[in-house]
Amino acid sequence: MELVSLADLLDVQALDLQIDRLLEERQNLPELAEYKEAHEEAVALEEQRETEASKLKDLELSLDKSEGELELLEVKLDEHETRLFAGGMSARETEHMRLEVQSLKGQRETMEEKVLQMLEGIDPAREAVKDLETRISSLNEAKAELESSIKAQWKKIDAELARKEERKQEAMSPVGAELLELYEKLRRIKEGVAVASFDHGVCGGCHMTLSPAERDEAFSQEMPRCVHCRRLLVA
Ligand SMILES: [Zn+2]
- Distance in angstroms (rounded) separating the CA atoms of residues 136 and 116: 31
- Distance in angstroms (rounded) separating the CA atoms of residues 84 and 97: 7
CA 152 to ligand 1 center in whole angstroms: 40
pLDDT score for 1: 46
CA 223 to ligand 1 center in whole angstroms: 14
Sign of the Cα torsion 31, 32, 37, 43 reads positive
For residue 132, give Cα distances in angstroms to 38, 56, 123.
14, 13, 14
CA 105 to ligand 1 center in whole angstroms: 99
- Distance in angstroms (rounded) separating the CA atoms of residues 179 and 21: 24
The percent of residues above 90 in pLDDT, for the chain, comes to 90
Residue 4 has pLDDT above 90, yes or no: no
Residue 101 has pLDDT above 70, yes or no: yes
Q: What is the pTM of this model?
A: 0.72
Reduced to 3 states, what is the DSSP secondary structure of residue 199? strand
88 secondary structure, DSSP code: -
pLDDT tens string 37-83: 999 999 999 999 999 999 999 999 999 999 999 999 999 999 999 99
Q: Are 202 and 22 in contact (CB under 8 A)?
A: no
CA 175 to ligand 1 center in whole angstroms: 21
| pLDDT tier for residue 3 given thresholds of 50, 70 and 90 | low
Distance of alpha carbon 163 from the chain centroid: 30
Q: Are 136 and 45 in contact (CB under 8 A)?
A: yes
CA 179 to ligand 1 center in whole angstroms: 18
Of residues 227, 212, 221, 168, the one with CA closest to residue 3: 221
pLDDT tens string 189-215: 999 999 999 999 999 999 999 999 999
- Distance in angstroms (rounded) separating the CA atoms of residues 224 and 9: 13
Domains with residue ranges and CATH for the chain? 27-172 (1.10.287.1700)
CA 209 to ligand 1 center in whole angstroms: 8
Give me the amino acid identity at 88. Answer: G
pLDDT tens string 127-179: 999 999 999 999 999 999 999 999 999 999 999 999 999 999 999 998 888 88
CA 188 to ligand 1 center in whole angstroms: 16
Tell how strand 195-199 and strand 232-234 pair up.
Answer: parallel
CA 191 to ligand 1 center in whole angstroms: 13
Q: Which residues surround ligand 1, an ion (CB under 5 A)?
A: 203, 205-206, 226, 228-229
pLDDT score for 6: 83
CA 227 to ligand 1 center in whole angstroms: 7
CA 110 to ligand 1 center in whole angstroms: 91
Number of Cβ within a 10 Å radius of residue 53? 16
Of residues 213, 227, 176, 214, the one with CA closest to residue 6: 176
pLDDT score for 87: 85
CA 8 to ligand 1 center in whole angstroms: 19
CA 164 to ligand 1 center in whole angstroms: 27
- Residue 208 backbone dihedrals phi, psi, to 5 degrees: -105, 155
CA 232 to ligand 1 center in whole angstroms: 8
For residue 102, give Cα distances in angstroms to 41, 76, 92, 115, 202.
55, 12, 15, 20, 108
